[in-house]
Amino acid sequence: MAAFLAFAESRAGRLRKVAFEAVTAARQAADRAGGHEVHAFLIGAPGIGQGVEALGKHGADTVFVVEHPALERYSPEVYSATMAERVRAGGYRGAFFTASAEGRDLAPRVAARLGVSLASDVTGFEFQNDSLIAQHPAYTGKVNVTLRLTGTPALLSLRPGFVTPAEQPRAARVESVEPAMDPAAARVTVSELAQRSTTKLDLGEAPIIVSGGRGLRAAENFKLVEDLAAALGDAAVGATRAVTDDGWRPPTDQIGQTGRLVSPDLYIAVGISGAIQHLAGMRTAKTIVAINKDKDAPIFKIADYGIVGDLFEIVPRLTAEVKKARSS
Amino acid sequence: MKIAVCIKRVPDMEMRFSIAVDRTSLDQTGLKYEMGDFDGYALEVGLQLVEKQGPGEVVVISLGPEGVQEILRKGLAMGATRAIQLKADQVPFDGLAIARALAEELKGGNYDLIMFGRMATDTANGTVGPMTAELLGLPCVTGISQLDIGQGNGTARRDLEGASETVHFPLPAVLTIDEGIARPRLASLKGIMAAKKKPLETKPAQLGSISLTVERMELPADRPPGRIIGEGADAVPELLRLLQTEAKVL
């Protein structure tokens, strides 16, 4: 029987949104193949098993739960050894990961352990008889590549945010699994997990991103961008490379060729001229708004809605109008 | 300290790409090539480690056709000791095949560190580093934004979405390097002259069987041309209306 497996990513004992994306994708693949089973793989410290119900709600028939006190934080070796063993034992047609920071670390390791290749950062997939056909944006989003991966199991990692989690409730069965290696024998250990902020949305998960560039003139003026993001609600703050290089914002906020690649529903570019390296990171946003004083700035060539003028007048007005609209 | 840095030749990403008639590759006409962005950071980190904690050597390795010798020479000009080209007519998309060829070359090399960029800027997969580590049975840390190497072990920071991890590992290890950790140096004229005399060895790449192939390449549909809806703060109500009623994103 050709079942599908999904890796359910968690952090600090809680399932992440990408876990539901992986399970939802596995459910779609299983249903298209004629209603096969979906299994999820959940690993962490004791208590992580509480996530089983939520995974069942998104379509998992069985959840394999690995609980161990030493797995409070990510362990690349224990995770990859145990996941590889599960893939081997389950005889799966396909195994889904997400191309998150953790998934990008884990999936290639599991693939190499199994001696199979991996279709990574995938934005579309179809299982055919002996092949997986997968879409993968490459060359900084300038070329869409269609890949053929032959052989079983087919491993793939999904671009975060590409699959919308959908509920398809099952009463998931639970199977407890022991770690495939003694966690105490792991050579690589994670000693600390520092959450930057528990309230702020991640750039990869936010439906709206407000991003600032050199046009803001000084680090403290990012307050304008932050205020607008706060007024919009589900919004994260990004920046251009010029801004992160100058230390106005942390490097992790950088959107662009060498930073984060994002595709939110709404991207508001404030004081950003639109260098090609920046466009590479955000050109797939559904709707782009640009606010810039230079009407010839390249950002206006791709912005669905542009306003030319002084951002120091336009942005506070926009923040005020958004607040007004949301309160009415 | 003996360090290998695996680098990839990638097209200059600022160019306009077009698809070749075979529809599975880029049209090579006018393409310019360079060392992958992240690979430059990895090489810089490797060079600094040997400079600070030497003696030792930095070996640059690249897989691909004759053209990869250009970026290997660049690596030598930046300060690498010697270079190895694993010759292949083209670089496959299959990360495991590349990892196999690299592992075959690296396994007898007694390297303390094997470094990669976090991902290649062209194919954007980021799979070769961790796959090579698994094939060699070595500890591996990916996406490193800060690195501290001590006696026989190291500590790294890797950035996650909205968080960061502190990771400890023993040497030898495989590391993949994120941007921003150390700005790659420019090759000096002296370095460029010296590079011409440094050894560059060429061997066939042992890729093995390939199971991940390019079926098709396409240019994404262009975004509709941009539209300026107005000037100054007075355009804000119209923007809000369009976002609510036309784009329906608010």
Domains and CATH numbers, chain B: 2-204 (3.40.50.620)
Apex B178 CA angle, B67 and B90, nearest 5: 25
Question: Mean of the pLDDT values across residues B2-16?
Answer: 94
pLDDT for res A263:
84
B219 contact residues in A (CB cutoff 8 A): 142-144
Alpha-carbon gap, residue B190 to B196, rounded angstroms: 10
Question: Do A178 and A289 sit in the same domain of this protein?
Answer: no
pLDDT for res A269:
98
DSSP secondary-structure letter at B21?
T
Alpha-carbon gap, residue A57 to A47, rounded angstroms: 18
Residue with tokens 């939110």: A264
Apex A148 CA angle, A105 and A141, nearest 5: 60
pLDDT for res A199:
57
CB contact under 8 A, B215 and A140: no
Question: Do A168 and A270 sit in the same domain of this protein?
Answer: no
Percentage of chain B lying above the pLDDT 90 cut: 92
Sorting pLDDT into bands at 50, 70 and 90, what band is B222? Answer: confident
pLDDT for res B161:
85
| Mean pLDDT of the residues in chain A | 94
pLDDT for res A205:
78
Summarize pLDDT for A82-106 with one digit per residue, the tens: 999 999 999 999 999 999 999 999 9
Residue with tokens 């930057």: A196
Closest residue to B239, CB basis, from A139, A280, A318 = A318
Question: Do A132 and A59 sit in the same domain of this protein?
Answer: yes
Q: How many domains does chain A have?
A: 2
Burial class (CB in 10 A: 0-12, 13-18, 19+), B18: middle
Question: Do A173 and A46 sit in the same domain of this protein?
Answer: yes
Taking alpha carbons only, the member of A157, A112, A215 closest to residue A6 is A157
Question: Do A246 and A302 sit in the same domain of this protein?
Answer: yes
A210 contact residues in B (CB cutoff 8 A): none
Radius of gyration of chain B (CA): 21
From first to last of its 328 residues, chain A has per-residue pLDDT tens of 589 999 999 999 999 999 999 999 999 999 999 999 999 999 999 999 999 999 999 999 999 999 999 999 999 999 999 999 999 999 999 999 999 999 999 999 999 999 999 999 999 999 998 899 999 999 988 899 999 999 999 999 999 888 999 999 999 999 999 999 999 999 999 999 998 765 567 887 789 999 999 999 999 999 999 999 999 988 999 999 999 999 999 988 999 988 888 889 999 999 999 998 899 889 889 999 999 999 999 999 999 999 999 999 999 999 999 999 988 8
The three-class DSSP label of residue B127 is coil
pLDDT for res A276:
86
pLDDT for res A277:
87
CB contact under 8 A, B13 and A313: no
Alpha-carbon gap, residue A21 to A98, rounded angstroms: 8
A109 contact residues in B (CB cutoff 8 A): 130-131, 133-134, 140
> Among A64-78, A250-264, B125-139, B199-213, whose mean pLDDT is lowest?
A250-264
Cis peptide upstream of residue A153 (ω within 30 degrees of 0): yes
Question: Do A214 and A68 sit in the same domain of this protein?
Answer: no
Question: Mean of the pLDDT values across residues B68-84?
Answer: 98
- If you measure CA to CA, which chain B residue comes closest to A153? B211
* Phi, psi at A235, each rounded to 5°: -130, 145
CA atoms within 13 A on the CB side of B1: 24
β-pairing, B163-170 vs A118-122, is unpaired
A287 contact residues in B (CB cutoff 8 A): 243, 247, 249
pLDDT for res A33:
93
CB contact under 8 A, B96 and A111: yes
Sorting pLDDT into bands at 50, 70 and 90, what band is B223? Answer: confident
Cis peptide upstream of residue A250 (ω within 30 degrees of 0): no
Write the CATH number for A159.
3.40.50.620
Question: Mean of the pLDDT values across residues B229-238?
Answer: 97
> Among A23-32, A293-302, B138-147, B218-227, whose mean pLDDT is lowest?
B218-227
Contact between A314 and A271 (Cβ < 8 Å): no
Task: Name residues whose C-beta falls within 8 Å of residue A8's C-beta, 6 or more positions apart in sequence.
Answer: A15, A19, A22, A23, A40, A41, A42, A51, A55, A63
What would the two tokens of residue A189 be? 């250990």
ipTM over 0.90: yes
pLDDT for res A202:
82
Amino acid at B53: Q
The reply to whether A235 falls in a domain is yes
Question: Do A273 and A225 sit in the same domain of this protein?
Answer: yes
DSSP secondary-structure letter at A315?
H
Amino acid at B200: L
Radius of gyration of chain A (CA): 22
CB contact under 8 A, B236 and A310: no
Taking alpha carbons only, the member of B142, B119, B115 closest to residue B130 is B142
Strands (E), A99-255: 118-122, 124-127, 131-138, 143-150, 154-158, 173-176, 189-195, 208-212, 235-239
Question: Do A141 and A242 sit in the same domain of this protein?
Answer: no
Q: Of the candidates A170, A185, A200, which is a domain's last residue?
A: A185
| Residue B107 reports pLDDT greater than 60 | yes
Question: Do A176 and A73 sit in the same domain of this protein?
Answer: yes
A80 contact residues in B (CB cutoff 8 A): 134
Sequence length of chain B is 250
pLDDT for res A251:
87
* Phi, psi at B118, each rounded to 5°: -55, -40
What would the two tokens of residue B194 be? 């010296």
Question: Do A153 and A13 sit in the same domain of this protein?
Answer: yes
Write the CATH number for A261.
3.40.50.1220
pLDDT for res A144:
95
CB contact under 8 A, A145 and B99: no
- Enclosing domain of residue A159: 4-185
B95 contact residues in A (CB cutoff 8 A): 108, 111, 117-118, 120
pLDDT for res B6:
98
CB contact under 8 A, A149 and B212: yes
What would the two tokens of residue B214 be? 């390019």
What would the two tokens of residue B168 be? 């400890």
The reply to whether A193 falls in a domain is no
- CA torsion A270→A276→A280→A281, rounded to 10°? -30
Closest residue to B228, CB basis, from A208, A308, A310 = A308
Question: Do A170 and A107 sit in the same domain of this protein?
Answer: yes
Taking alpha carbons only, the member of A23, A293, A280 closest to residue A138 is A280
| Residue B162 reports pLDDT greater than 90 | no
Question: Do A83 and A181 sit in the same domain of this protein?
Answer: yes
| Mean pLDDT of the residues in chain B | 96
* Phi, psi at A111, each rounded to 5°: -60, -50
Distance from CA of A171 to the nearest CA of B (A): 31
Closest residue to B131, CB basis, from A108, A146, A286 = A108
pLDDT for res A1:
54
Apex B103 CA angle, B99 and B109, nearest 5: 150
The three-class DSSP label of residue A220 is helix
CB contact under 8 A, A116 and B96: yes
Closest residue to A313, CB basis, from B132, B233, B242 = B233
